[in-house]
């Protein structure tokens, strides 16, 4: 095989991450996945990187990724603390103004409108399915991901690197077996997809900031949406291949606070893309997936509907074109 990459990197992109399935199908078909050692991702890319690290056959990986119900990701489930925070009389009055008082509470208390509990439960379930519970019970850490003796069939995983944003220090954080061996992987992935203000932020302890056991984390895409340079200190540039999205600019109707948050975050992503595209070395080792005008936050999507099929096909075609141009 001419191309033997060791590192595969996925950018953030919300539901656009469905396109990664098309890319992965191409990688598996052509043998490009086999030599991959390290997987890194932010937000939607973190989800893909996590499940791909299990080192499963593509058909099993696809079934697992397709089991995620995007419509349930923006959860409005009741917050158990809301009744204490809002007495019933106040909650009743707020309910006349807001469609969900629990979302208001979550925004005030945890700095995010929606709950990410459904996603957290889902990713924990997928991870647990790859471990032998008789050898170790959940939760499973980055250190556990490195210990093949705990995995079903003793199957070794590929190394996993997840990007989050430490909002208390305004810095990116890399969660991995090197930096946070004792951190739960599901929690790291949850952090990476927790778009600020849209989803609740996550307070947690990790190995990095021992002086401050409870740090506030949000979506890794805030500062490092496409971690294409993550492995450059340890590997030659040619050993890394990445995948990112290119959307068609489109005026979006802003009708509520969620629309406003989504558009504001899209502006941040556009700035990061402009910086990335100004570096020819990074562009050369990146597969660009054109996603048209599909919204990053279009959660009304399901396997094999028109939008799903479009994104899937765009991912496969982008990988096919990229490698055909390399000759």
pTM: 0.90
The tokens of 218 are what? 């949000």
The H-or-E segment that residue 245 falls in is: strand 240-247
Give the pairing of strands 159-166 and 215-219.
antiparallel
Q: How far is CA 312 from the centre of its chain?
A: 17
Tell me, yes or no, whether 208 lies in a domain.
no
> To the nearest whole number, what is the mean pLDDT of the chain?
89
Look up 219 and say whether it is catalytic: yes
Domain that holds residue 254: 7-70+117-193+221-326
* Cα atoms in the Cβ-side hemisphere of radius 13 Å centred on 114: 23
| Statement to judge: residues 105 and 229 lie in one domain | no
Tell me, yes or no, whether 202 lies in a domain.
no
3-state secondary structure of 198: strand
Which pLDDT belongs to residue 86?
37
Measure the CA–CA gap between 68 and 249, rounded to whole angstroms.
28
pLDDT at 216 over 80: yes
| Statement to judge: residues 168 and 106 lie in one domain | no
Tell me, yes or no, whether 126 lies in a domain.
yes
DSSP letter (8 states) at residue 130:
T
Torsion sign across C-alpha atoms 77, 80, 83, 85: negative
Catalytic residue among 11, 43, 116, 172: 43
pLDDT tens for 5-64 read 999 999 999 999 999 999 999 999 999 999 999 999 999 999 999 999 999 999 999 999
Catalytic residue among 53, 219, 247, 286: 219
Number of helices and strands in the chain (H, E): 13, 10
| Statement to judge: residues 230 and 105 lie in one domain | no
pLDDT tens for 220-240 read 999 999 999 999 999 999 999
Instruction: Judge whether 61 and 54 are in contact, CB under 8 Å.
Output: yes
Look up 207 and say whether it is catalytic: no
The tokens of 290 are what? 């054109």
């Amino acid at each position: 095989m001419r191309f033997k990459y060791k590192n595969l990197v996925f950018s953030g992109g919300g539901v656009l991450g469905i396109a990664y399935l098309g890319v992965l199908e191409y990688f598996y078909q052509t043998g490009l996945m086999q030599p991959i050692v390290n997987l890194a991702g932010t937000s939607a890319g973190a989800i893909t990187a996590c499940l791909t690290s299990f080192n499963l056959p593509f058909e099993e990986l696809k079934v697992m990724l397709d089991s995620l119900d995007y419509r349930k990701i923006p959860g409005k489930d009741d917050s158990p603390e809301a009744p204490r925070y809002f007495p019933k009389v106040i909650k009743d009055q707020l309910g006349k103004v807001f469609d969900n008082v629990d979302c208001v509470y979550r925004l005030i208390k945890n700095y995010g409108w929606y709950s990410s509990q459904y996603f957290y439960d889902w990713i924990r379930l997928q991870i647990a399915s790859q471990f032998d519970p008789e050898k170790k019970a959940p939760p499973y850490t980055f250190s556990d991901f490195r210990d093949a003796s705990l995995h079903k069939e003793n199957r070794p995983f590929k190394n996993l690197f997840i990007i989050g944003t430490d909002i208390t220090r305004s810095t990116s954080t890399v969660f991995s077996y090197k930096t946070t061996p004792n951190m739960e992987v599901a929690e790291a992935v949850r952090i990476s997809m927790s778009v600020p203000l849209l989803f609740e932020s996550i307070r947690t302890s990790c190995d990095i900031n021992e002086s401050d056991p409870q740090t506030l984390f949000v979506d890794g895409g805030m500062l490092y949406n496409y971690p294409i340079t993550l492995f450059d200190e340890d590997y030659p540039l040619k050993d890394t291949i990445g995948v990112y999205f290119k959307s068609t600019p489109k005026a979006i109707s802003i009708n509520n606070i969620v629309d406003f948050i989504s558009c504001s975050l899209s502006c941040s992503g556009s700035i990061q893309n402009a910086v990335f595209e100004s570096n020819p070395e990074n562009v050369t080792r990146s597969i660009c997936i054109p996603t048209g005008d599909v919204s990053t936050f279009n959660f009304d999507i399901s396997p094999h509907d028109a939008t799903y099929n479009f994104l899937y096909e765009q991912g496969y075609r982008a990988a096919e074109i990229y490698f055909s141009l390399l000759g």
